[in-house]
Amino acid sequence: MRFFALDGSEQLGTAIASAMGVTLDPHEERDFEDGEHKTRPLISVCGEDVFVLHALNGDPSRSVNDKLIRLLFFIAACRENGAARISAIVPYIAYSRKERQTKPRDPVTTRYVAQLFEAVGTDMVVTLDVHNIAAFQNAFRCATTHLDTCRLFAADIQQRVSGAPVVIFSPDGGGVKRAQLVQEAYEDLTGEAAGFGFIEKRRSGGIVSGSLFAGDVDGASVCIIDDMISTGGTMLRAARACRERGARQVTLYAAHGLFVAGSETVLNDSAFDRIVVTDSVAPFRPEMELVVGLLDVLPVAPIFAQAIMRLHGGGSIHRLLASDS
């Protein structure tokens, strides 16, 4: 087995390698003066089971597009040099928001990205908490493995609540199933019932609307669940609605803390008590110091390490998932 982590994902890669009891294999990423670049393994991959880690979130040093093309080129180089199997470990996969046409002539970028991975010879794509799991699984013709944070978040919720009733809450209708899986994981873990709720959200022309609020949050510890925090606006809208209806405590949970420019201002708000994300993407920007006192980061290296070892050894992935029965 060979395990590589491309530039920008070394911190998570090192943690995953440590959890597996291995070291990262060496590779080269070279930039040319005109903006082109090359990536290649610095160790033989011929006949090997190759795993390549790269989170595809944009950051101040590299764009989403740059990270994506570097990962694709590296996978292609491994295929060119005789790798037996190549698995892309992509904790955050780019372009997953646009998985269907909602307006005339819309792109379906989830499918286009899938075709790119397939074109360079990827055998499997492993990711964490995608925006829409059904769209992700249907877009790829190669094998996919979707990991989730349900059990990780459920365990954190158990430690965090302080005697008040618990309500698991979705900040929009599209995330209802994701929140329900966390609710089920929490109830399985604790043996206690948790309430459920969601708020309607519609977006058109950049304007967010929708007034339907479902669920009883009065006096409850509310845990708002989403796949990502980007600007933070969706989470803040839901948190304020819960506070207005008597929520005792509000905690935001998201797998991917993208925290784009301006989110530090949005998230520096009294509507919620804590923000919980994972380390699926590289550390947040310096501007996030404004909310660092509110932020808790949960490690996902153990989840990925177990997944990689099971994939390499032919073990069951389903036992890692909250939805397994």
Q: How many CB atoms lie within 10 A of CB 103?
A: 7
Task: Say whether both 53 and 108 belong to one domain.
Answer: yes
In a domain, 139, yes or no: yes
In a domain, 251, yes or no: yes
* H-assigned helices in the chain: 10-20, 64-80, 109-119, 133-139, 150-160, 176-190, 233-244, 263-267, 301-313
In terms of average pLDDT, the best of 60-64, 91-95, 97-101 is 91-95
> Which of 319, 282, 314 shows the shortest CA–CA distance to 303?
319
SS3 166: strand
pLDDT band for position 77 (50/70/90)?
very high
pLDDT band for position 325 (50/70/90)?
very low
Residues 56, 60, 66: CA angle, nearest 5 degrees: 40
Task: Say whether both 278 and 311 belong to one domain.
Answer: no
The enclosing domain of 117 has a CATH number of 3.40.50.2020
Dist CA 226 CA 178 (whole Å): 7
In a domain, 47, yes or no: yes
Identify the weakest region by mean pLDDT among 6-20, 44-58, 271-285. 271-285
Task: Say whether both 142 and 167 belong to one domain.
Answer: no
- Could you read off the pLDDT of 183-242 as tens digits, one per residue? 999 999 999 999 999 998 766 555 665 678 999 999 999 999 999 998 888 899 999 999
Give the rounded distance of the alpha carbon of 171 from its chain centre. Answer: 16
In a domain, 325, yes or no: no
Task: Say whether both 175 and 233 belong to one domain.
Answer: yes
191 and 314 Cβ atoms separated by less than 8 Å: no
What single string gives the DSSP state of each residue in 20-47?
HT--PPPEEEEE-TTS-EEEEESS--TT
In a domain, 167, yes or no: yes
Mean pLDDT calculated for residue range 270-278: 93
Dist CA 19 CA 79 (whole Å): 26
Task: Quote the domain boundaries for residue 189.
Answer: 150-298
Task: Say whether both 142 and 274 belong to one domain.
Answer: no
Dist CA 193 CA 166 (whole Å): 8
Task: Say whether both 127 and 167 belong to one domain.
Answer: no
Task: Say whether both 166 and 290 belong to one domain.
Answer: yes
Dist CA 222 CA 198 (whole Å): 11
Check residue 204 and give its pLDDT: 56
- Could you read off the pLDDT of 131-183 as tens digits, one per residue? 888 889 899 999 999 999 999 999 999 998 877 899 999 998 888 999 999 99
50: pLDDT strictly greater than 80: yes
Mean pLDDT calculated for residue range 264-282: 90
Task: Say whether both 79 and 42 belong to one domain.
Answer: yes
> Which of 152, 146, 132 shows the shortest CA–CA distance to 297?
152
323: pLDDT strictly greater than 60: no
pLDDT band for position 301 (50/70/90)?
very high
SS3 content of the chain, % helix, strand, coil (to 5): 35, 25, 40
In a domain, 80, yes or no: yes
Task: Say whether both 294 and 193 belong to one domain.
Answer: yes
Check residue 268 and give its pLDDT: 85
Predicted TM-score of the model (pTM): 0.92
Task: Say whether both 174 and 118 belong to one domain.
Answer: no
Task: Say whether both 154 and 258 belong to one domain.
Answer: yes
DSSP character at residue 168:
E
Look at the chain and report how many structural domains it folds into: 2
Check residue 216 and give its pLDDT: 95
Task: Say whether both 124 and 233 belong to one domain.
Answer: no
- Could you read off the pLDDT of 305-317 as tens digits, one per residue? 999 999 999 877 8
